[in-house]
Amino acid sequence: MKVILTIIVMILFSQGLLAQSRAILTAVPYLLFAPDSRGTALGTLGAASNPDAFSMHWNPAKYAFTDKRFGVAVSYTPWYWLLIQDYDPLDLSFGYHAFNLFFKIKDRMAIATSMVYYSFGEVTFIDEFGNDLGTYKPYDFYNDISFSYRISEVLSLGLAGRLIYSDLTRGQFVQGAETSAGVSVAMDISMYYQKGISLGSYEGSIAWGVNISNIGSKISYSETAVNKDFIPTNLRAGIGFTTKFNASNSLTFLADFNKLLVPTPPVYLRDSLGYPVYDDENNRVISKGMDPNVSVLRGMFQSWYDAPGGFEEEMKEWSFGIGAEYWFRSNFSARAGIYHEDKTKGTRRYFTTGIGIRFGYFGFDTGILIPFEENAFNAFNLRSSIMLDIGRRKK
């Protein structure tokens, strides 16, 4: 498959993400994509769901609560497979794919790692005059490792480190500057709580989780760039409630809330003719909001109060997902969910659904994302995951 790419590459190079009216821009936004089918089917959430092999993305602290000794899982997403006529679904060079692995090293400790590969397939680069600059395969990749520890019977903590590599332009010249691969390192800090409760004649459990992910260095696609782009540092907080009708049938309700811990773009001053106004140091003058060119740590704190629209706009920066999961005889599950993001902050809104099957050590999940509105970042897609969990650890 070949895709003609001009202005798209320029925008990715300079901003990292196409902007809606007040969307917060970051580089490598794929770090927030759901890597697994189960999380996708539940409304792209998982901070407080019960642990599985894909917990690395949602909340690494959950691994400490798994009752398995070892687990491995792979996930495959044939990206936009219904929209591209000549797309080969078996071509792994195009799409979004994940590999996860975890070990329970002691009753209270676990280590895990994951690798995610995201590719656009073959891309034909052309300049502003339409000249062919060659065909390449841009891709993004990250690899992480985590350690989680259960500090009590109901609470665990997790810490993860991540290497991010983004090669979008393969050394092409964009706006007169030579490009290079973007590299960043980041970390996650997470917490997970799970406790059994009594519901009259039934048993159940409550859970909550918090994960601050992608706390890391800014990224640039040029060695000469003065201003680098933030990666998507994100706060995810989730709650979950499970009712167990018997030993093998249960119903779970889940909700996740997300906020990017990245500065909100300000409103810049313009003159009577609509042209930007600059100060004596040739910086654009801010009319409302705050300067976004700050350090990563300051940007995390500033993100709570820097929206030009005040408290109302700050609240619009929260997105959420809600979902439900029903397990029948511990072998078959049905899932559904909804994800909502304000129209001024990205307008990602979609319905999700999917199923899961478990037989012995083997598991298979599939998830479908169906957008409410069709745009550049909403498209029907299908995600499939296969996992293998080995044995219960004796306590």
The closest of 109, 91, 111 to 101, measured between CA atoms, is 111
With 90 as the cut, is the pLDDT of residue 303 above it?
yes
Q: In which band, very low, low, confident or very high, does the pLDDT at 216 lie, cut at 50, 70 and 90?
A: very high
Match 């706009």 to its residue by tokens: 313
* pLDDT at position 158: 98
Beta strands in 79-138 (DSSP E): 94-106, 109-120, 122-126, 132-136
Q: How many helices (H) and strands (E) does the chain have?
A: 5, 21
* pLDDT at position 128: 66
pLDDT, tens digit, 9 for 90 and up, residues 341-356: 998 998 789 999 999 9
Q: Collect all residues with Cβ–Cβ distance below 8 Å to 172 and sequence separation of at least 6.
A: 9, 125, 133, 178, 179
The residue that leads in pLDDT, 162 or 131, is 162
Give the mean model confidence (pLDDT) for residues 336-342. Answer: 95
What is the rounded average pLDDT for all residues in the chain?
85
With 90 as the cut, is the pLDDT of residue 103 above it?
yes
pLDDT, tens digit, 9 for 90 and up, residues 225-266: 667 899 999 999 999 999 999 988 999 999 999 999 999 999
Q: In which band, very low, low, confident or very high, does the pLDDT at 392 lie, cut at 50, 70 and 90?
A: low
Give the mean model confidence (pLDDT) for residues 23-27. Answer: 89
The closest of 257, 258, 383, 251 to 325, measured between CA atoms, is 251
Q: Phi-psi category of 214—alpha, beta or left, where left has phi over 0 and alpha has psi -120 to 50?
A: left
Give the mean model confidence (pLDDT) for residues 278-300. Answer: 92
User: What are the residues facing 55 on neighbouring strands?
Assistant: none
The closest of 185, 191, 137 to 164, measured between CA atoms, is 185
* pLDDT at position 13: 38
* pLDDT at position 1: 36
Identity of residue 195: K
With pLDDT > 90 as the criterion, what percentage of the chain qualifies?
A: 60
**Token duo for residue 174:** 């964009």
* pLDDT at position 171: 67
Element (H, E) at 314: helix 310-316
Which whole-number Å values give the CA distances from 72 to 48, 95, 157, 322, 389, in the listed order?
20, 20, 21, 26, 7
Name the DSSP letter for residue 276: B
Q: In which band, very low, low, confident or very high, does the pLDDT at 41 lie, cut at 50, 70 and 90?
A: very high
**Token duo for residue 364:** 């298979």
pLDDT, tens digit, 9 for 90 and up, residues 78-92: 755 444 445 555 565
The closest of 253, 255, 235 to 318, measured between CA atoms, is 235
* pLDDT at position 62: 98
Give the mean model confidence (pLDDT) for residues 262-288. Answer: 91
pLDDT, tens digit, 9 for 90 and up, residues 160-190: 999 999 988 776 766 666 778 899 999 999 9
The radius of gyration of the chain from alpha carbons, rounded to an integer in Å, stands at 22
CA–CA dist 125, 170 (Å, integer): 10
pLDDT, tens digit, 9 for 90 and up, residues 117-128: 988 777 777 766
Q: In which band, very low, low, confident or very high, does the pLDDT at 8 lie, cut at 50, 70 and 90?
A: very low
* pLDDT at position 180: 81
Read off the pTM: 0.88
CA–CA dist 351, 338 (Å, integer): 5
DSSP string, 2-34: EEEESHHHHHHHHTSS---SSPPP-S-GGGGS-
With 80 as the cut, is the pLDDT of residue 202 above it?
yes
* pLDDT at position 88: 58
Q: Collect all residues with Cβ–Cβ distance below 8 Å to 205 and sequence separation of at least 6.
A: 194, 195, 196, 197, 240, 241, 242, 244
CA–CA dist 97, 141 (Å, integer): 10
Backbone angles phi, psi at 49, to 5 degrees: -70, 160
* pLDDT at position 256: 98
CA–CA dist 317, 345 (Å, integer): 6
Fold of 2-392: Porin (2.40.160)
* Strand pairing class (362-371; 350-359): antiparallel
